[in-house]
Each structure stands twice: as C-alpha cells, then as structure tokens.
Structure 1
Amino acid sequence: MSDPATMRAGLLATRDAAATTVGTITVDSYTRVGDNTGAALALARGSAMNGYPITAHSRRTTRRVLHGLGFPVQVRHGSAMPGDIVSALVAAGMHATEGGPVSYCLPYSRLPLRDSVENWTRASERLAAVPDHHMETFGGCMMGQLCPPSVLVAITVLEALFFRQRGLRSISLSYAQQTSPAQDVEAVAALTSLAGELLPDVDWHVVIYAYMGVFPRTPAGARRLMAEAARLAVTTGAARLIVKTEAEVHRIPSVAENVAALEHAGDVAALCTPAPADGRDTETYAEARAMIDAVLDLDADVGIALDKGFSAGYLDVPFCLHPDNAGRARSYLDQDGQLRWSATGSLPIGGPSAHRRDMTSSDLLAALSYMERRCDTN
C-alpha cells in the first residue's frame, strides 16, 4: 500500500485480528530495484504503487504510520540493493527486516551475486548497529517451490551465518511449506538442529511460510492448505507463520481477507501441540550439512564463500535462471508428493537415488499445480 493512511489502517486491522500477529510493510517495485527517483515521481503524481515507497516518504510520515501501533512491524522488500531501504527503516524507528544476499538476489535480480553480497554486507552492518535489531533470512523460500528441502535449509543457514558474521545477533531462519507434510516436518527438524549447532551465540527462531506456489482455486482447498501450514508451524516448534489467503490464486487479497487468514491460522494453531523432533538422523540434514560444510570450506568470509559456492555448483537451485546459478541440479515430485533430486550437478551430496527420473515439460506443469489439485480434490 503506497498511501500512508491506508498502510496504517492495514496495520491496525492486522494488530486487532483475533490472533497473535505482527505487522509487515512491503515496499514497492521502484524502491526494491533502487529506483528511488521513480518512486518519488510516482508518489508526486499520486499514482498507486504495489507497495510502500519507504525511501520516498519522509521519515516523519513513516513515523506517523507506525505511531502507537503497539506491536512489531517488519519491512519486506525483495531487494538485492537494500542499503537505502535499511537506512530509511532505521530512520523511521524500525529495526526488523528480511532477505539475504542469495535469497533476495537469485530469484528477483540479475545483479551479480558478488555485488549483492557487498550490498547486503553494508546493509547488515548498518542494521547491526541498531539496538533490538532483527533480520530474517529468506533463504528457505528460494523460488517458492520445487526445491528439495535440503538446499533450502542449507541456504537459510548459510545466510544466517553471513548475518552473524556481519554483527547481527537476532535472526530468524525461514522455511517455505512444500508439497509433502512429512517431508516438511523432516526439513524443519533438520533446520532447527543445524541452527542449534551453528548459531550458539545467536537469538534465533524458525519462521514458516505458507505454500508459495500455485494456490488452490476453491476456498475450501485454500483453507485446507493454510491449515497444513499452521499445523506445520506449531508441531515443529516454529515461532511464526506467514499466511496466504483464499484469494491468493485470483487477485491481490484485501485487508479483510488477510485478517481472515490470520484468524483461521490462529484457530488451527490453537488445536495443535508442539512436538519438535531431532532432525539430525535424516536425509535432509545430511544433504544440507554437506552443502553447508562444502561452502564454508571455500573461504572464512561467508559472503565470499557463498559466491564461490554457487560458482562451484556446491549450491544449485533447480529452475533458477540467474546467471550465477549453475542450473545443473534438477528435481521432481515422486508418487508420494515428495521432492527428489533427478540430477545433482556438482552438489556435494552424491548422485541422485535409484528412483530418479527426468522431468518433462508436462511433468513440470503437473508439479507446479500439484498442491492446487491435491487440496481442491480432497
């Protein structure tokens, strides 16, 4: 929402939902690509934008948006050039944002990964100087779908280590709900175990994102999928859940629809019991640990190691077209809806298992709509 009054009204509605909530401000497309002049011109013309132009609005305006809300607000942006955004949010009195040098570069930008690492280094150090800062790595949400969980877990942990090295000590690690509830539970358990081992001096927690791919078309199917996300968050011991709405597949949801989704998730969560598992004796843990160790061995600086890791193919995101992604790893959905490797390229995890298969174009289309079909027909 680009209008400050509308943005504040949305935050108030989120705060007042019948659920435990935090607020978010998502920036517009001009700002996320560093076109601050374009954002300012659009604002001067009175044009509606697809987000809040935090660098174009004055610090005073944004402070008025936030005044007296009484709950945390996090800035979301999708930028490989986050410096001005972080400076603006800090100036407005905020201290929480999200992203990462990989997760906000490869899916959204053509910027070289090396440049993104440099940009995120400066922004992270700026945020680390702020009391009560918080950074959320978006690494567990790479491309949203069709990534075997181990690569998501590896990237989110490596980005957390990058942030830690830049002085940040309050970090959340993300994981996006995928196509198999059982595989998701294993993945979050592996993520939790790795974070416990590798981030001993960091105040960290896990945040779950509801499915980021093609959403069910029916209200019942959408609610079913959102309920699975809420159960995943609670049972695995995650601290937060980013929700989707029933309108997700049709259009941009309204504030009321977002509030309804928050309340639905809260109702489901209230019926669940945390039962976090030890993830160390799992395939996801073993693969993710192998990727993390291989990358960290490349350089003492985690940012440089990430760049080298992608160059070497030790990290490789299926179906990602960014020039710095090797593009040799491939995945597919097995008969149980679990994501498997069909080709591992140079990933340090050995070759794909015996049940490998090559994904055709029709297989890809079917995989992309798998959750829509499963939830709409059950």
Structure 2
Amino acid sequence: MDSFEHETMSVSKQARDFLRSRQSRSVASTMEKARASGRILLQPRCGVGSHEQQLALLKKLSEDANPDVATITIDSYTRLGAFDKAHELARTNPATLNGYPLVAHGAERLREMVLAIEAPIQIRHGSPDPRRLFSTSLEGGADGFEGGPLSYTLPYSKDFPLERSLRAWDIVDEVCGELAEDGINIDREFFGSLSGTLVHPVISLSVTFIEAMKAFSKGANKVGIAISQSGCPYQDIAGLRAIELLATSLCPGKTVFPILHHFMGVFPRDPTKALALIAQGSVTARLGKATKVVVKTQVEALGIPSADANATAINFSRIFFSPIFDGFLPDNSKIDEEAQQIYCEVESLVSMTFEHGDSNGTIANLFAEGRLDVPFCPSRYCKGLCVPRRADDGAIRIVDPGLMSFSRPFLDREMRMAGLNADPMQISAMIRDIQYFSGEDDADSQ
C-alpha cells in the first residue's frame, strides 16, 4: 500500500462488523445528535508515543473532562510514511515521538483504546498519502478520520506531488463511500487551519470545500468543515456562518458540520492570557453555531499538554456554552456583510475547480499556476505568493493576492478594510501580525 501498484483497499469483515455495531455512538452519529440539539461538542488534541501512556491519557481525559470526541494524534514519522522509523522508536524510545505511531502499534491495540473509553475516537494526523494509516484505523475500529489531500499536503510536505496526494485521498473517500452504502458512516473532517499563520477564511474554506466536494463525489454524505479562530470575533463568526451558506449552494442535500479550532497561531506564554484567548474562541464558536470545537490549552506555547492541561481546557471551554453568555454578539450587520463576502469569493474559487471532468488535474494546475494558493506553506506545488496581513481591527485581510483569482470588488474591499499604510519593512510587520497574541509587550494593548 506504499505505492500506487495497489490502488484499491479492502476492509475485513471483522472490522466492518465492529464498526457497524458502534454506529449509534460513532463520531458521525455524535455530530448528528449535537447538530439536532444545538449542543457544541468538545474535542482535545492528544497523542504520545507509548501505547500504555496513550491509553492512560485517553482514560484520564475521559474521567476528568468527559470530551465528546476523543483524539489520537499521529506522530510525524507515521504521517510521512516512515513506518520503519516509527516502529523502531515505538519499540526503543517512544518518548521521542510527537504523537502515537498507530501503524507501528497496530490495529489490535487501537481496538483496545476504542473499547476502553465512552467517547468515539477520531484519528488526526497530517499525511499526504494516508492509505496505510487509514486501513489500520478502520481495522482497529476508529470511525473518525480527519484530513484531505490539500490541507494535509500543502502545509506538511515540501516535495510530495499534489496529484499523487489527490489520488491517494480519492481511495480513502471511495472506501468511505462504499462503507456508507453498507450502513457504516466514517466521519470525514477537513482541516481548514492549513499553515496556522494568518489564514484568511476565503482561503481556508476554498480548500476545505474542494476537499469536501471530492469526498461527496465518492459517496460521502456528511462531512465536517473546520476553520481556525483568527482572534477577530466578527470575522470568525462570519466564517462559521459562511460554511452554512456554502453548504447550501455547493453541496445541496448533504450534511456539513461547521467546526472551529481554537487559535492555531503563536500562543501567549502567559497561561492567563492563553485562557483569555481560549475563552474568546469558545464564545465565538457559540455565537457562530459551531457543532464542535477542537480545543487548545493554557500551556500551548510551552510544550505538549498533559492530560491535566487538556482536561482544564475542556472544562474551561464548556463554561462558555452556558446560557449566561447569550447576547454577546458583535454588530450583526457587520458579520452578515463579512459572511456574504466570504461566501461569494469561496463559491467562485471552488466552482472553477470542477468546471472540467478531471478535477484532480485541474486542482493541481490551479495551484501550480498560483490561481489557488495558501500562504506560508512549504510545498513546492504551491506558489505561496498571496500575502495576508492583520488589519487594525484584528481581522485577516489579503493585501497582495499574488496570482490568485479573486474578484476585483473583493480585493478592493480587502485593502480598504485592512486600513494599512505602505510599510517598507513588510517582513517585520508580518512577524508582528503573526505574533499578535504572543508578545509580552504588545499583548497588554490588545
């Protein structure tokens, strides 16, 4: 499964039976119930190299915070297909791994974790070619598998060809479609955080809706679309609202769950300021009617969070979903205008990728030409010429489109809303934008 000599993927009868038996408590079912009730789900990020420690971490989080969806975050070696190296370190020095080496530990150990906790498990990773990881996930009974060919290639891999990733993920989504016909829904969530650095919602949602529409074409009928908290509440609420507008227009008859990631940029080192940023994100998710929030912790800037830190963040975030925070809403007309602008521009960018029969070739060509682009990505298959900046009001604006196919009215509005003067030291200014929440000196003034 490491080459394209094997372009099909089979799922064993044992795995199918196990997945089918748990459909009422699967990630997809949990998301559907939350959407119907208006409840917001909470999900941590967590992954360590040792199987015993990962199992203990999941159990402790379950006891201390009762997350609605549990996570196994995969290590970098496994993400990029270095399975032998991951296996060696899992055996000799698992503490050096920055996540759980699922392929090395195997499906049987994953099944042990699935059975050990109440919440369904989603696999989060960053793989441009996820086929072997996906196969192990299914055989182990995990029914949530995050990521897509753009969001998990452009920000994570320098030399992995985009067309190859598109083909690999097609196989994943074909299996999901075939399982759906068999009554087994695999949760598919698309990662809009991308590089995590000044990601404009138009770029984020263009990428994730391209991925979602490809998944729908393979048989999926329910997906999650995620954006990350920018730190500007009205723009983030508008982004969440735009997901619903775009779903109705681009994916009629399909179910799309809006998801918010807590801030993915440089976090404050001060735990109190970190909690304030988490609080802002949680209130934003409530006002934007997110179905799920993927949480960060108050020690985000300091290292991999412990179970205690994750539990604190989940319990803290849950406070802001209380009715006592009803009514905290920025100017609704401002949000509606922003959402409409996002909607129109994303619809245009996404639609042009499906104008011809060969969507994979079209998508790869659009990125090669720079007509689609993601700033600050290492991939050589992405131009990276589009320049975002943070405006005076905290919103992220496009100040140089590069070669992207934005409309002129949108770009004119972006420049007007940015309110930025020409800066001969643009790199320094962009660094300040990136460190918007992290600097000790200027954080007090935010």
Q: Cα–Cα, structure 1 residues 368 and 220, in superposed 2: closer, same or farther, change >3 Å?
A: same
Quote the residue 1:322 is aligned against: 379
Greater shift after overlay, 238-247 or 191-200? 191-200
Quote the residue 1:251 is aligned against: 303
Name the SS of the counterpart of 1:282 in structure 2.
Answer: helix
Q: CA deviation at 1:79?
A: 0.5
Where in structure 2 are the equivalents of 1:334-345 lying within 5 Å?
A: 334-345=391-402
Q: Does residue 2 of structure 1 match 2:49?
A: yes
Where in structure 2 are the equivalents of 1:1-378 lying within 5 Å?
A: 1-18=48-65, 20-48=67-95, 49-110=97-158, 111-130=160-179, 131-138=184-191, 140-270=192-322, 271-273=324-326, 282-297=340-355, 299-351=356-408, 352-353=411-412, 354-355=415-416, 357=422, 360-373=426-439, 376-377=444-445
Contact 2:122–2:144 under 8 Å retained in 1: yes
Deviation digits for residues 215-268 of structure 1, max 9, x if unmatched? 112122111110111111111111100111111111211110011000000011
CA distance in structure 2 between the aligned counterparts of 1:280 and 1:220, rounded to whole angstroms: 30
Q: Which amino acid aligns with 2:200?
A: P
Q: Which amino acid aligns with 2:178?
A: A
Q: Which amino acid aligns with 2:404?
A: L
Q: CA deviation at 1:65?
A: 2.0
Q: Structure 2 unaligned runs (5+)? A: 1-47
The RMSD of aligned alpha carbons is 2.2
Greater shift after overlay, 304-313 or 103-112? 304-313
Q: Cα–Cα, structure 1 residues 376 and 4, in superposed 2: closer, same or farther, change >3 Å?
A: farther
CA distance in structure 2 between the aligned counterparts of 1:268 and 1:302, rounded to whole angstroms: 41
Name the SS of the counterpart of 1:307 in structure 2.
Answer: helix
CA distance in structure 2 between the aligned counterparts of 1:280 and 1:305, rounded to whole angstroms: 29
Give the TM-score normalised by the residue count of structure 1: 0.93
Q: Which amino acid aligns with 1:184?
A: D
Greater shift after overlay, 89-98 or 349-358? 349-358
Q: CA deviation at 1:281?
A: 6.2
Q: Cα–Cα, structure 1 residues 321 and 201, in superposed 2: closer, same or farther, change >3 Å?
A: same
CA distance in structure 2 between the aligned counterparts of 1:340 and 1:280, rounded to whole angstroms: 11
Deviation digits for residues 55-85 of structure 1, max 9, x if unmatched? 1113222211221412111001111010000
The percent identity for this pair of structures is 29
Equivalenced residues, count: 376
Q: CA deviation at 1:93?
A: 1.1
Q: Which amino acid aligns with 2:351?
A: D
Q: Cα–Cα, structure 1 residues 92 and 20, in superposed 2: closer, same or farther, change >3 Å?
A: closer
Contact 1:19–1:266 under 8 Å retained in 2: no
Contact 2:385–2:401 under 8 Å retained in 1: yes
Contact 2:278–2:317 under 8 Å retained in 1: yes
Q: Cα–Cα, structure 1 residues 47 and 280, in superposed 2: closer, same or farther, change >3 Å?
A: closer
Q: CA deviation at 1:376?
A: 4.9
CA distance in structure 2 between the aligned counterparts of 1:86 and 1:376, rounded to whole angstroms: 44
Deviation digits for residues 243-301 of structure 1, max 9, x if unmatched? 1111111121111001100000001122444989767862222221221122222x234
Q: CA deviation at 1:360?
A: 1.1
Name the SS of the counterpart of 1:370 in structure 2.
Answer: coil
Greater shift after overlay, 106-115 or 348-357? 348-357
CA distance in structure 1 between the aligned counterparts of 2:443 and 2:173, rounded to whole angstroms: 39
Deviation digits for residues 156-193 of structure 1, max 9, x if unmatched? 11111011112222210000111311111112111221
Q: CA deviation at 1:54?
A: 0.9
CA distance in structure 2 between the aligned counterparts of 1:43 and 1:287, rounded to whole angstroms: 45
Q: Cα–Cα, structure 1 residues 14 and 199, in superposed 2: closer, same or farther, change >3 Å?
A: farther
Give the TM-score normalised by the residue count of structure 2: 0.79
Contact 1:160–1:171 under 8 Å retained in 2: yes
